[in-house]
Amino acid sequence: MNVAGKSQTAAEQGTVFTRNFVALFHQNKVTMDYIQESDFTMMEEGFTVRDLIDKIINEASQTEERDAFLVGDMEEVVKKHLHFLKTLPRVKPFYAVKCNNVKPLVKILAEMGSGFDCASKAEIELIKEIGVNPERIIYANTCKQISSIKFAANSGVQMMTFDNELELVKVSENHPKAKMVLRIANKDSNSSNDMNAKFGAPLNTCRHLLETAKNLNIEVIGVSFHVGIGCLDPQIYAQSIADAHLVFNMASEFQHKMTLLDIGGGFPGTVEAKISFEEIAAVVNSALDTYFPEGSAVDVIAEPGRYYVLSAFTLAVNIIAKKIVQQDAPESHGERNNPCKSAFYYLNDGIYGTFSRLLFLCGYPKLIFHKEPSPEQPLYMSSLWGPTCDPMDQIAEHLYLPELCIGDWLLYYNVGAYTIVTSSTFNGFHPPHIHFAMSPKAWEDVLLLKRRFEQA
């Protein structure tokens, strides 16, 4: 574990902060394994994540190895968790592991009492490995392999989703003690990534599915839905909660004891989103009061993913190559734009790495120059490319940028969701190294939340 600060030497910082925080963790019976195994920086007051990025870049610039890297701001994750609990007080988060599965992140969420939405055997293994009770896991995948169903059964994971009759038959034969959650389809939510094409049972099939479960002696305990990514209409949450209430009523006809409502994910991860988290929360809270009021003996969970991690991770990439192409005097757009040439910049991360999210239409990360260029510099039509030999490995095109140099750094904010998990080693390029950072105040919040969770 590293310690970053501005007023002490590295040795002094390590002596003061490492000893105190190791002792603090041991006093509170919190394992340090996931910290000691990671590149983790404890930042003293006044030292920001951007300071840490600058420090890493300055050190890398003294060498020839100027590899791309990520910085995960775990304090941002803690703040998001606290805000979630405050804004949706009746909803317990079950973090969507598929969104970002790095161990320090999921371990910190576990310490704060989060549950987990797992979609595969490997994700269940990860969450079990960090010591999470299987009661805090929902196997939220409606199309499961038989061997994975058996693994969940042997691991003590009982909650799992379904949306069709054949899935019920598989579960009845391989995990008869499962507690099933019926995933229903949503009406059109105008989401950028609609889930209904692949998942969810239409309302007119739910009564049959509930009856089938009863005949197979399979317990159905609740209903789930997911409005999709980039939802533009928060009222779809209210409509889906109302639909879930109808299914609860159907379930009573077949003596299913319904105790769980899972409102899924789709929550925005940045303040720039067209629909804010607070707007969605207001709609959800009102709908819960109407259809599942307090005292109704129904637990409400959600599956936030990008909400927690999108804004918590920053990518630093280096320009490793450059090509200038002379133009035949095209039209100029704007006073600073120079039409005489265009620039191709090749970065040491691309579509097969952190930028893989672009393939899934999840939005474009925010680009920042590490060294802010002069406002007087002319702008050239530019394109950004990844390091592989695939001509499809293009990050961006038609950008008007000042002329950049080989060795310059670019920063991308909001890269925490569906980036690390979808990276590959195509062409032998490995995903960027991840540095984690947090302040002492955030650690104290983690410990406080851990104690509250254990006492609840």
The catalytic residue positions are 389
- Are 354 and 362 a contacting pair, CB within 8 Å? no
C-alpha angle 49/55/56, rounded to 5°?
90
Q: Please give the C-alpha separations between residue 217 and each of 18, 100, 149, 210, 408, in angstroms, as whole numbers.
A: 54, 36, 17, 11, 63
Q: Quote the CA–CA distance of 157 and 135 in Å, as a whole number.
A: 7
Strand partners, 413: 366
Q: Quote the CA–CA distance of 243 and 235 in Å, as a whole number.
A: 12
- % helix / strand / coil in the chain, to the nearest 5? 40, 25, 40
φ, ψ (nearest 5 deg) of residue 221: -110, -10
Q: Quote the CA–CA distance of 314 and 278 in Å, as a whole number.
A: 24
Q: Please give the C-alpha separations between residue 24 and each of 34, 88, 451, in angstroms, as whole numbers.
A: 15, 30, 13
Q: Is the dihedral of CA 140, 451, 25, 15 positive or negative?
A: positive
Helices (DSSP H) in 156-202: which residue ranges? 165-174
Q: What is the largest CA-CA distance in the chain?
A: 76
Beta strand pairing call for 394-402 and 115-118: unpaired
φ, ψ (nearest 5 deg) of residue 336: -85, -15
> Three-class SS of residue 302?
strand
Question: Which residues 6+ apart lie within 8 Å of 230 measured at CB?
Answer: 191, 192, 193, 266, 362, 363
